[in-house]
Structure 1
Amino acid sequence: MSETLAFTGPISRWQGEKATYHMLTIGGEVAEEISMHERLRRLEFGGRRGFGSVKVMARIGETEWKTSVFPSKTGEWWLLVGKKVLKAEDLAAGDDASLTLDLI
């Protein structure tokens, strides 16, 4: 089962104890689609993945990578965006990024 979703939003920066992270917060209809995919997967396989995550193939610009999105308590989903992606696509915190997700 694979579904392709598109989302555009700002890249945010979060300072953790040991590192700085960049992420996209995915909301709205796209977040609802990811949540439904996660529920169906849980019913099919009888359990959740770590932290309730969903495996995805993400693409920003010409850069594509396999990763996971993680649920928030508010119903949104978080996608971590690595330094290699930021550099390859010339992005920084505050920039809007157009994201394509293939749910795996």
Structure 2
Amino acid sequence: MDIVFAGQVIEWRGPSPYYFVPVPEEQSADIQEVASMATYGWGVVPVEARIGEVSFATSLFPKDGGYLLPLKNAVRKPQRLSTGDEVTVELTVRL
């Protein structure tokens, strides 16, 4: 399943900050339809993602009926992405 969406980078504060892009409601609903075939536990969904020129493997985190795409520093820093930046995400759910 391939999905493209735009979203804003958000910061989740904790002992150390984490950065995410929330998956919009419509695309989250599409992912939920196949999540049971893809998840390997705890509701996380493995994906291949691309933002700009950087491709990476990660897992979507379920949150409030939708999903959050985590942004590792290796993805965020080379592109100088920070809180509030708008990004376009190409996503493939690994089934």
What letter is aligned with 1:7?
Answer: F
Runs of 4+ in 1 over 3 A off after TM superposition: none
Measured after TM superposition, the shift of residue 15 of structure 1 is 1.1
Which residue in the other structure is 2:75 paired with?
85
TM-score when scaled to structure 2? 0.91
How many residues are matched? Answer: 94
Structure 2 residue 34 is the aligned partner of structure 1 residue 37: yes
Which residue in the other structure is 1:23 paired with?
20
Deviation string, structure 1 residues 22-77 (Cα, Å, up to 9, x no partner): 001112211011111113x17xxxxx5222111100100010011110111x2110
Which residue in the other structure is 1:100 paired with?
90
Q: Identity over aligned residues, as a percent?
A: 30
TM-score when scaled to structure 1? 0.83
Q: Mind listing any 5+ residue stretches in structure 1 that lack a counterpart? A: 43-47
The answer as to whether partners of 1:27 and 1:75 remain within 8 angstroms in 2 is no
Instruction: Give the Cα–Cα distance (whole angstroms) in 1 for the partners of residues 83 and 41 of structure 2.
Output: 27
CA RMSD of aligned residues (A): 1.3
Determine which structure has more spread, i.e. the larger CA radius of gyration: 1
Aligned match of 1:51 in 26, 42, 58? 42
Measured after TM superposition, the shift of residue 83 of structure 1 is 1.1
